[in-house]
Amino acid sequence: MPIQVELDDVVRLRKPHACGGYEWTVARLGADIGLKCNTCGRRVLLTRRDFEKRLKTFVRRAMAASDPPQAPPSPAPS
């Protein structure tokens, strides 16, 4: 089963980029996954299979469009 990935997720890969950065932002979805290095701004394309092999963890998940926004708590009556 493929890993659920959303646009603007921030992921950490197993090996660092040449600039030394580990964290990437998902910029494109499809058969290929587009990533943008958070350190130097370089963009790369990985096949979904390579992405899933290199993925270590999700640093931050983007809010899914299907999730309803949370209403702020109402103030307590005084």
pLDDT tier at 65, thresholds 50, 70, 90: low
24, part of any domain: yes
The residue type found at 32 is D
16, part of any domain: yes
Indicate if the alpha-carbon torsion angle 67, 53, 13, 29 is positive or negative. negative
21, part of any domain: yes
Is residue 75's pLDDT more than 90?
no
- What is the count of structural domains for the chain? 1
Parent domain of 33: 10-60
Rounded to 5°, angle at Cα 62 from 61 and 67? 110
Note the pTM of the prediction, 2 decimals: 0.74
> Mean of the pLDDT values across residues 23-48?
94
5, part of any domain: no
Helix (H) / strand (E) containing 52:
helix 48-54
